[in-house]
Structure 1
Amino acid sequence: MELHKLDDDLTVAPQISVDDVAKAAQAGFRTLVSNRPDRESEDQPATEAIAEAAREHGMEWIHLPVQSGNVTERDAQTFTPILRDAPKPILAFCRSGTRCATLWALSRVRKDNIDQLLQTARFEGYDLSPHRERMMELSNQTHD
């Protein structure tokens, strides 16, 4: 299992297997988040099998499917309370981890330095620079 720690609360990963769930639980993760839609590819493990394994290992399970290459502001708004409220630490996964890293960065733009978010993601192998302009716009929006 390939892990990329973005902060103390969130680690992201490429697609995990059912067997990886036990390893994640042993590593101390308390919440497992899937950002991958069901049957996105033929080689993808069944989401329900991973969900069942998470529950068997006492982990909180959250499925927030996000379309590859199309992380929306609404997706980020849905992810924000997960980051805030879910038992920590959290392990989120998708096909490569990029969607998870993008959700994290978009969720944090109102309170964290954008260049630092981009640098952290880049250090962990995720180039989120194409989202910089959108991140700037989001950081300037007021929150109702």
Structure 2
Amino acid sequence: MEIRQVTPFFAVADQVVEDDLPALQAKGFKTLICNRPDGEADGQPAAEMLAAKAREHGFDWYWIPISSGNFSQDAVLAFEQAMAATDQPVLAFCRSGTRSITLWALSQATQRPAAVLLEAAARAGYDLSAMVPLLEARFKG
């Protein structure tokens, strides 16, 4: 698991597994958001099983699965609400972290200009330049 810090209170990672939970707890994470649908790859833990183990470790847990880059308005809203309603810091994860950081950027785009979100993503190692039209359309600045 590779954790990439996006803001002081938000990070993204690739697939989290049960054995990662103690380390995430030690790093101070309070909330996990899984953006990976079940059954995407062989050996991938089922979200329900991982959720139960995460809760046993004291994490808040949200499952907002995104498949094939389908960032629906409902998913963006669910992510925004999860970020607002949970203890921080938050770690969101998927296969590579790309869906998670994209969902984060879309959820933040009503409050922050696209350039700020692109810069935060780039510092974490993600290029979201293809998302600029969607980010700009959401900004109400």
TM range (shorter): over 0.9
Map of 1:10-21 to 2, 5 A cutoff?
A: 10-21=10-21
What CA distance in whole angstroms lies between the structure 1 residues aligned with 2:16 and 2:58? 17
* Structure 1 residues 109-128: Cα deviation after superposition (integer angstroms, max 9, x where no partner): 12112111101101211111
SS at match of 1:6: strand
Look up the match of 2:86. 86
TM-score, L = length of structure 1: 0.91
What CA distance in whole angstroms lies between the structure 1 residues aligned with 2:51 and 2:74? 23
Large movers: runs of 4+ above 6 Å: none
Number of residue pairs the alignment of both structures matches: 141
Q: Please, which runs of 5 or more residues in structure 1 have no aligned partner?
A: none
Map of 1:1-144 to 2, 5 A cutoff?
A: 1-140=1-140
CA RMSD of aligned residues (A): 1.5
Displacement of 1:140: 4.2
Moved more, 30-39 or 71-80: 71-80
SS at match of 1:87: coil
Displacement of 1:132: 0.3
TM-score, L = length of structure 2: 0.93
| Matched-pair contact (CA < 8 Å) for 2:6–2:123 | no
* Structure 1 residues 66-93: Cα deviation after superposition (integer angstroms, max 9, x where no partner): 1132222321111111111111111110
What CA distance in whole angstroms lies between the structure 2 residues aligned with 1:49 and 1:25? 18
